[in-house]
Amino acid sequence: MSPLVEHEDSCPFCNETITFLIDASQNEQSYIEDCSVCCRPIQVTTRCDPDSNELLGIDLSRS
């Protein structure tokens, strides 16, 4: 079972606030997620603590 953490942040393309669902069971992961507003691909890099299922850091950039 994957603990999902909700995180709101602004899209690096259109600046709209969008919600990301992050799998907190991974220490570090990097993936592409399309913006739900402008549909452009956002490079998402996250750092989490799998023991407490907490999001430690997130980085969003234009892929």
Among 13, 25, 33, 43, binds Zn ion (CB under 5 A): 13
Q: Which amino acid is at 52?
A: S
Beta carbon nearer to Zn ion, 43 or 53: 43
Q: Is 36 helix (H, G, I), strand (E, B) or coil?
A: coil
| 14 binds Zn ion per the rule CB under 5 A | yes
| 5 binds Zn ion per the rule CB under 5 A | no
| 37 binds Zn ion per the rule CB under 5 A | yes
Q: Which of 10, 4, 12, 3 is nearest to 63 (CA)?
A: 12
Q: How many CB atoms lie within 10 A of CB 48?
A: 22
Q: Site residues (CB under 5 A) for Zn ion?
A: 11, 13-14, 35, 37-38
